[in-house]
Chains A and B, each alone.
Chain A
Amino acid sequence: MLLLSLIESDLQTKIIISTILFSCAVCAIFFTSHFSSLLIQSREDEIQRIRDEKQFLLVRLMFDDNTAESNDAIILTGFDEFKPIGKDNQLRKRKRKRKLLRQMMIDEMLKLKKNLTGSGVEDLYKLYDKLSLYEDSYIKLKSNRYQLMVMGIRELSEMNFRAHYRPIYKCTNHFQEDVRMEAQVAIVRLFGVKGLRFLSRVTYTISEWQQMTLLHLLNNMKNEKPKGIEKWFDSKNDSVIIFSLRLADKYNCFELLEKIQYFLHHPNDSVKIQSVYCLKNIYDESTEFLLIANYEIVSKPVKIAILDVLKLLSTELSIPFLYKQLADNDTEIRFSVLRVLNKLCDHNDIISTAENELEIKDSITLMLEQIKSEESK
């Protein structure tokens, strides 16, 4: 009606009606803002109150001297609200409250885990199992909403609940990026290097961020060599090759040297660069010459990587090659070459060769001084 009258009316009336509508909307939004703020605040206060109230129970469950018996006793007696949500005819409101309480319990456990080590963490896992909180996490994992799936996967893996690993493993190649990433992290968290077998099936690119997360996770785990790196080297997914090279580097897989050197001829520059950096750790007497042999045919970023590695691997035999590269017009390359030469030659020799034979006069001295000052620290 209002819309009809608005269409039929003259301009002035249209503006009056629109102004009234806008003013009403403004008032509505003002009030909604204020009341929603108050509502959210009171809800947060309420949740905090319950959290404070229940936190002591969690602490009691965790740190009671007679852990096993007392846990059961508490769960059976004073801890009813945390019982799993049954399929009986409970009132919907009670069900919702219990669900909220159980979620709060999981959240608290996840938070607590960050500050615990050793047997404390083990107790937390047991409690998660005993309260059947994994059922809640599993429901989330099976949900269609990816945010819930991620939550479920994280909870199950953080609580080291391995029984449901299959659906998580299936998600390691999920089309939804967040689910996929969380599942990959979860599998590694649960099984360590053994969990890396998902690399054999992953078809999506593993982003740099994800690789960093996985490596960081592995850093905090038992130093066990992963099996199958060689197989992952044959992957059609370049990101899997790059990650495998990082793994080979991290776990000092000297037996893979030949394969790693082979990647110097890979068409993808990122793979090339990673293989060069891998050779910093895994090398033999021929590596230095292999890098030099490839130097001319690679792009600038790969050249910089090669020079960076040569800083560690080069011997006096590389000096003629390095002097030749010192004539490069690119200042960044020249600086990198000087960093290598600095390891092998006397400063005066470098300066005189640069000035007399290569006719490079500018900046060499300053560059060398900078390198010297950096290395003296």
Chain B
Amino acid sequence: MPWELYFFNFFTYSILIYSITLLSAYILIGIYSVFENIQHMRKHAFTDYSMVASSSVVPAISILAPAYNESASIVENVRSLFSIYYNNLELIVINDGSKDDSLQKLIDAYSLIKVPYFVNERVVTKSIRGIYKSTNVAYKKLIVVDKVNGGKADALNAGLNIASKKYVTCIDVDCILEQDALLRMVKPFMSNPDKHVIATGGVIRVANSCEVQGGKMIKVHVPENMLARIQTVEYIRAFLLGRMAWSKLNGLLIISGAFGMFDKEIALTVGGYDTSTVGEDMELVVRMRLYMEDAKRPYTVRYISDPLCWTEVPISYKILWRQRDRWARGTVETLWTHKKMFFNRKYGVLGLLSYPYWFFFEFLAPIIEFIGWTFFIVSVMLGMIEWNFYCLLLIFIISFGYLFSAFSILIETFTFRQYKEKRDVLKLVSAVLLEPVIFHLYVVGAGIRGMLRLLLKETMGWGEMTHAGFTKK
């Protein structure tokens, strides 16, 4: 047998084995997640959050909302955050050196004045130009921080330095929170006497085309835009069939930057957000976990599977490309920074399961897929292709993708059932069918590009997002 054939067969079967392992991992994690989701739903169906929502004895929370060039919607977004049903909170909006008139709009809308403020700079940040508070008692919970531009992580660090409460919630300023979202997020911190809960994360759902009134989600719709619709399926799949299992295994490595709650003291002790990475949300969680592991303190990171936070997803390919570029780059940066965890028994589940999973199936997956496609094209050009084999393998993989996505829709229907209209399931299914064609390859490309940019050491700024706006009622 000529060496080309050996190489060809070796390569083909390696990709096949990798694919089978990946699919098996997805199946196992998916099934485990489903059981845990059902368990979670049963357990929390009895918690009466409304009973304590208005209570004065709820723990104090600081909300950190960084903003950059959000002039068009900042006033409304802050108003929306004020509508959250929680008694004991402070809202810190960090204007990260916006080039537009975001700050002036906030000053005018909320009657802000510059106040003397001592910032205990436990994490070094770009300089703070001023701290603003409202003269109107109705907005006494609001603190606006104006600082020199330093990126999202730097803005969040400034917020961490200023936050006076025990728990901090980091959110994207344009997110719509469910009314009891904060209570649901804070509950694990107060319900685990045996383990120190260092962070909690919630489910993010897609808000495009949904009806929003006064900062509250009124009616949920499947997005009209196909790109957003596909991302809806993607979010359902990721949150419903993935994170719950990792949380239960105490191996969750990421809490979405759009909505997460942290123990402020631990976050500050580990040095806050890393400003040198674009994946600051994942990196902080990993660093906090490592700190607790090294200190040998019993701890956990909890995930709440109820839909708590709604956010707009990109509807243009350009913005989507940039977003996925950032995500891929952030993953690689975090994995590289904490490479000592790789199959390190000292870190238990984290080192033996979570890290290898992220390495092989999140970081390597787009690379292997890319190599696979390149190999396929080269094989076609050299006339070495076994068409039957390749076509069938492709159909097999696509079928599995369909199966997994369809399964996630099924589980969504049986559990949280956010999409109630009769046509919604059909709309989501149509998105599933189109995903491999108009979405998947594009996302793989963006991921590869992100990794290349990292290799080339190209810098990235704030992840800008253009908002199409919600359907206002």
Which residues of A are interface residues toward B (Cβ below 8 A)? 11-12, 15-16, 18-19, 22-23, 25-26, 29-30, 32-34, 36-38, 40-41, 114, 147, 150-151, 154, 178, 182, 205, 207-210, 212-213, 215-217, 219, 239, 331-332, 335, 363, 366-367, 369-370, 372-373, 377
Known contacts A207-B191, A207-B193, A363-B118: A33-B406 contact under CB 8 Å? yes
Residues of B within 8 A of A25 (CB): 403
Residue of A nearest to B392 (CB): A15
Is B140 part of the contact surface with A, judged by Cβ < 8 Å? yes
Number of A-B contacts (CB under 8 A): 119
Q: Are A377 and B140 in contact (CB under 8 A)?
A: yes
Q: What CA separation (Å) do A151 and B117 show in the bound complex?
A: 50
Known contacts A19-B399, A212-B55: A33-B392 contact under CB 8 Å? no
Cβ proximity bits B190-201 to A, threshold 8 Å, 1 near / 0 not? 111110000000
Is chain B's interface secondary structure helix, strand, loop, or mixed overall? helix
Known contacts A40-B413, A212-B57: A373-B115 contact under CB 8 Å? yes
Residues of B within 8 A of A147 (CB): 42-43, 45-46
Residues of B within 8 A of A114 (CB): 50
**Nearest CB of A to B32, in Å:** 18
Residue of B nearest to A205 (CB): B193
Known contacts A369-B116, A370-B118, A377-B140: A37-B424 contact under CB 8 Å? yes
New A-B pairs, 20, CB < 8 Å, besides A15-B389, A19-B392: A15-B392, A19-B395, A19-B396, A22-B399, A22-B400, A23-B399, A29-B410, A30-B406, A33-B406, A33-B429, A38-B422, A40-B417, A41-B420, A147-B46, A178-B43, A178-B46, A207-B193, A208-B189, A366-B116, A377-B140
Q: What CA separation (Å) do A366 and B120 show in the bound complex?
A: 11
Is B407 part of the contact surface with A, judged by Cβ < 8 Å? yes
Residues of A within 8 A of B192 (CB): 207
Q: What CA separation (Å) do A33 and B137 show in the bound complex?
A: 50
Residues of A within 8 A of B399 (CB): 19, 22-23, 26
Is B426 part of the contact surface with A, judged by Cβ < 8 Å? yes
Q: What CA separation (Å) do A212 and B56 show in the bound complex?
A: 9
Q: Are A33 and B409 in contact (CB under 8 A)?
A: yes
Interface size on B, as a range, is 35 or more
Known contacts A209-B187, A332-B120: A216-B51 contact under CB 8 Å? yes
Q: What CA separation (Å) do A48 and B57 show in the bound complex?
A: 36
**Nearest CB of A to B351, in Å:** 30
Q: Are B193 and A239 in contact (CB under 8 A)?
A: yes
Q: What CA separation (Å) do A38 and B425 show in the bound complex?
A: 9
| Choice from A15, A32, A366 contacting B410 with Cβ under 8 Å | A32
Is B388 part of the contact surface with A, judged by Cβ < 8 Å? yes
Q: Are A367 and B388 in contact (CB under 8 A)?
A: no
Q: Are A34 and B425 in contact (CB under 8 A)?
A: yes
In the assembled complex, 21 residue pairs joining A and B whose CB atoms fall closer than 8 Å, in A order, are A12-B389, A16-B392, A18-B396, A19-B392, A19-B396, A29-B409, A37-B413, A37-B422, A37-B425, A147-B42, A147-B43, A147-B45, A182-B46, A210-B191, A212-B52, A213-B51, A367-B118, A370-B115, A370-B116, A370-B117, A377-B137
Which residues of B are interface residues toward A (Cβ below 8 A)? 42-43, 45-46, 50-52, 55, 57-59, 115-118, 120, 137, 140, 187, 189-194, 388-389, 392-393, 395-396, 399-400, 402-403, 406-407, 409-410, 413-414, 417, 420, 422, 424-426, 429
Q: What CA separation (Å) do A93 and B336 show in the bound complex?
A: 62
Q: What CA separation (Å) do A372 and B118 show in the bound complex?
A: 12
Residues of B within 8 A of A38 (CB): 422
Q: What CA separation (Å) do A239 and B190 show in the bound complex?
A: 12
By CB atoms of chain A within 10 A, which of B115, B410, B426 has the most?
A: B410
**Nearest CB of A to B390, in Å:** 10
Q: What CA separation (Å) do A29 and B389 show in the bound complex?
A: 26
Q: What CA separation (Å) do A150 and B55 show in the bound complex?
A: 23
Q: Are B425 and A33 in contact (CB under 8 A)?
A: yes
**Nearest CB of A to B230, in Å:** 16
Residues of A within 8 A of B395 (CB): 19
Residue of A nearest to B187 (CB): A209
Residues of A within 8 A of B389 (CB): 11-12, 15
**Nearest CB of A to B86, in Å:** 13
**Nearest CB of A to B82, in Å:** 18
Q: What CA separation (Å) do A38 and B426 show in the bound complex?
A: 11
Q: Are B413 and A207 in contact (CB under 8 A)?
A: no
Q: What CA separation (Å) do A205 and B194 show in the bound complex?
A: 9
